[in-house]
Structure 1
């Protein structure tokens, strides 16, 4: 009598109801939650950036030379390979420090795992993936916290430093600025195809290459005099994070859609219906403040609101600084970085042309 074959561990994505930055609470719902919070908490004068503009991280001024950047990011699996999941989650968390113009200095691990469902080896590979990215960023994982949870969750708390004068908020764009995007869009579309087992090996490789590329240009960009605002494009999509820039500056952000870089093949996948639920929730939350051209394709709107896990830096800078910004991106290996729009005087809306 043959011995029964050992059972295979479940796919990581089968254990999560939403993966990557696509499992963020929708922006409209989040606004309602935050609106109900009391506003009586103390705000020390050293707090340079708090929750007021939905920025990427908190920033606390230590002295005239140093400001401390603090952020946290964690989510459920967006891929089934545990090592890749750990790499993606860590890259995404560290990105918030780069998006403020800082340099990361250390991380703490956030780990929630269904201990009775996943093999310990799988959990270990997730942590190894995160450690490999922190090593590439030159920082230690100096501690953390673990819990036994129903769905697998992994991420980091990340601390960084920057000179106070080089902190870049998402709210400081100026009329006349141009907008540049560091990475192509489409991670959410690829993740939707992967979850339905319809993503080929090339598509998976493109997804991993994008989501594990550290946004290292951030600190160098922040040092450029012509750079006024920085953020990264994550769960709320290009539209949502562009609107944060528009609202912070009290200006219109105008995006020229044909200039926006897309990961190869994602428009075709979106046209076939491989779109995350988060994309629709994003549109419901902020679509009233987005002006689309007549005949704008459904798949293009899906990509405009597509949740990006570990997405690219969005830079608002003077027109004169644009070539230098692109040169920084190129030096760091961001071949798809492109000028995609501008900031103009007007209502705080996103206008797509």
Structure 2
């Protein structure tokens, strides 16, 4: 039955494209940034939309804490588990941390889908956690009308060597460590069942080496590119850092089948909402509406967007002094 069930048909959306739109989310969490005094020092919280929370604790150590889960992005349960785990771990890497321990988060329609499929999802998560040398110990499950899976992850970091949204400076180049186009390919997969091995390979690749390279280069500013798309996550980074950003559209890498998927209309609602959110703060006059949609494409388990150069990865733009637009695409 594992080979015949199409998991994506049991969910209204898929992967990070089913995130609550960024504008709505900011309205929901507005006013929640005031934190009572507690054990440890909160270094990173809600203020700038960073990828994880960071708390300084005794012994010169910082704890990095995050959670991420979503509905099926592919039909294969093992691959979905691997993708969801890699995506959750990415938040720790995006902060410059190292994952230490994670727990499973599973929602499962137990009267509709067999437990053997859920076991495959969990096995996929365990495989990626092992690759990351991160303990995966237990978790929590509920009976849910839609299948959902992800991890809550705790990592460690040097509190003086974090990668943050608010540490970008004018003149820094912008490096992207994975190609875009995951969103349109996942949307096509959900609609047609066509499998894109290059998309699965990209989503399951950990951001560990890119994070380590950024830290080794002395860089301080990064985020990962997931449900809000390249434009959405770059907008949050630039806004937090008090700068503007210029993107060279021709330098942005894409998975090879992505443009065909876009041409054939496989664009998620999440991608369109991303573009609507950033458009008032962006100069998109130099690119077509299709190109703008690809730049806003809702990614799942995408790469890191780093303020600085990383060998082996393309520079796609730069941070510049604040201007009329937060984002400019040329």
TM-score interval w.r.t. the shorter chain?
over 0.9
- 3-state SS, counterpart of residue 78 of structure 1: coil
Most deviating of 267-276 and 186-195: 267-276
The C-alpha deviation readout for 1:266-302, integer Å capped at 9, x for no partner, is: 11220221111111111222221111134x2222111
| Aligned residue in 1 for 2:160 | 165
Helix, strand or coil at the partner of 2:118: helix
Structure 1 counterpart of 2:275: 283
Mapped contact 1:267–1:300 kept (Cα < 8 A) = no
Per the alignment, residue 145 of structure 1 pairs with 140
Q: Offset of 1:174 from its aligned partner?
A: 0.3
Pairs within 5 Å for 1:318-329: 322=309, 325-326=310-311
Q: Distance in 1 between matches of 2:166 and 2:32?
A: 23
SS class of match (2:317): strand
User: Unmatched 5+ residue regions in structure 1?
Assistant: 1-5, 331-336
Shift of the 60–39 alpha-carbon distance from structure 1 to 2, 3 Å rule, reads closer
The equivalent residue for 1:42 is 36
Q: Is the 8 A contact 1:103 1:219 kept in 2?
A: no
Query: Does residue 341 in structure 1 map to residue 317 in structure 2?
Result: yes
Deviation at 1:230, TM superposition (A): 1.1
Matched residue, 1:333: none
State the SS of the aligned residue for 1:159. strand
**Mapped partners of 2:271, 2:201: distance in 1:** 22
CA offset at residue 219 of structure 1?
Answer: 2.9
SS in structure 2 of the partner of residue 151 of structure 1: coil
Distance in 1, Cα, partners of 2:49 & 2:7 = 30
Write the distance in 1 (CA, Å) between the matches of 2:111 and 2:274.
34
The answer to whether 1:100 aligns with 2:92 is: no
2:129/2:136 contact within 8 Å kept: yes
The answer to which of 8-17 and 308-317 deviates more is: 8-17
Paired with 2:244 and 2:207, the residues of 1 have a C-alpha distance of: 26
Of 292, 301, 307 in structure 2, the residue corresponding to residue 316 of structure 1 is 307
Give the counterpart of 2:241 among 236, 246, 249.
249
Other-structure match for 1:30: 25
Report the Cα distance in structure 2 between the residues aligned to 1:284 and 1:293, rounded to whole angstroms.
15
On the 8 A contact 2:86/2:203 being kept in 1, the answer is: yes
Give the one of 187, 203, 223 matched to 1:211: 203
Partner of 2:226: 234
Asked whether the 8 Å contact 1:252–1:345 carries over to 2, the reply is yes
Q: Which residue of 1 is the match for residue 106 of structure 2?
A: 111
Q: 1:299 to 1:43 in 2, by over 3 A?
A: farther
C-alpha RMSD of matched pairs (Å): 1.8
Q: In the alignment, is the contact (CA less than 8 A) between 2:48 and 2:166 conserved in 1?
A: yes
- Alignment partner, residue 59 of structure 1: 54
Structure 2 contact 33–46 (Cα < 8 Å) conserved? no
Is 1:268 aligned with 2:249?
no
TM-score, normalised relative to structure 1: 0.89
Q: Give distance in 2, aligned partners of 1:41 and 1:251.
A: 27
SS of equivalent to 1:165: coil
Length-normalised TM-score, structure 2: 0.95
1:95-125 per-residue CA deviation (whole Å, 9 max, x = no partner) reads: 0010000111010110110000111111110
The CA deviation at 1:340 is 0.4
Q: Is the 8 A contact 2:161 2:220 kept in 1?
A: no
SS at match of 1:52: coil
